[in-house]
Structure 1
Amino acid sequence: MKTRFNLLIATGLLALGATAALASGSSAPFEQYQPDPALKTASKANLEGRVRHACAVVQARMTSAPEASLERPCGCYAKQTLRSLDESEIEAYRTTGYFNDSARAKALSALDACKLQRPV
């Protein structure tokens, strides 16, 4: 099941020009993934927007809900996740384009708090 979720995330990331979004159990699908170079210099507001949009894409695919209906909960998720990350986790995200293990745990907590579906 984690593989299915990871594939959903990878698909969403590619569609978004290489942004990472939701937490997953493994970074294996991203091993050959090349993050968007703009992540290196993106503002935190831009990072939040990328995470919010990726969340909406992935959650829409998981729940068959329209992306527009996920604007508020995904905004909650993006804001809460990015505010909880420390500088090393943000730097890892900027470098790799996805959340590392410690950031992934925080992202899962944000999914729960914002009442979004967790990966299966």
Structure 2
Amino acid sequence: MRSSLPRTGRLVLAAGLFSLLAACNTASRTGQYAALEGYTPDPTLKTATKSNLTGRVRNACTVVQGRLQKVEPSTLAAPCGCYADRTLASLDKDEVASYRATGYFNDTATAKALNALDSCKLPRPV
């Protein structure tokens, strides 16, 4: 199944998640992510606590949403906290394992992240 986000939206999410939020990276579609070639996930993701992962996602959200909304990232602390909490709480163990291994949300985790954006009244990346 192809993600409903356009390529630029996925790249923005991926960049945000690396600093930390949500994009997809699947082995079956590696050509689609040629712009991310050479990317190496942070090795500390493998052993990071769930609380640390939530903090990383919150930070990525503030960076990405700050750029998207053209506001100071600090003004997004509450909605991005909502987003990070809801997203990480909704992921199953396989989705968390995938995120730890790749630094990206897989397709099912991305769908959950998009639902969390909607729930927390944050705009989706275009």
Using the size of structure 1 for normalisation, the TM-score is: 0.85
Separation (CA, whole Å) in 1 of partners of 2:45 and 2:74: 24
What stretches of structure 2 of length at least 5 have no aligned partner? 26-32
Counterpart of 2:7 (choices 3, 22, 29) is 3
Q: CA deviation at 1:104?
A: 0.5
Per-residue CA distance 1:94-113 (angstroms, 9 max, x = gap): 00001000000100000000
Q: Structure 1 residues 110 and 53 mapped into 2: Cα distance closer, same or farther (>3 Å)?
A: same
Question: 2:74 aligned to 68, 76, 85, which one?
Answer: 68
RMSD: 1.8
- Over 3 Å counting, the alpha-carbon distance change for 1:36 and 1:81 in structure 2 is same
| C-alpha distance in structure 1 between counterparts of 2:107 and 2:38, whole Å | 18
Partner-residue secondary structure (3-state), 2:101: helix
The 2-side partners of 1:38 and 1:92 are apart by: 14
Instruction: Please tell me the residue identity of whatever aligns with 1:98.
Output: Y
Please give the alpha-carbon distance, in whole angstroms, between the structure 1 residues aligned to 2:14 and 2:119.
Answer: 23
Unmatched runs of 5 consecutive residues or more in structure 1: none
Post-superposition shift, 1:12? 3.5
Name which of 65, 80, 95 aligns with 2:101: 95
Larger radius of gyration: 2
- The alignment covers a number of residue pairs equal to 114
Partner of 1:53: 59
Instruction: Return the offset for 1:11.
Output: 4.0
- CA offset at residue 10 of structure 1? 4.3
Q: How far did 1:33 drift?
A: 1.5
Q: TM-score, normalised by structure 2?
A: 0.81
Give the CA deviation at 1:13: 4.7
AA of the residue aligned to 1:42: A
Letter in 1 for 2:54: E
CA distance in 1, matches of 2:107, 2:37: 15
Give percent identity, aligned residues only: 54
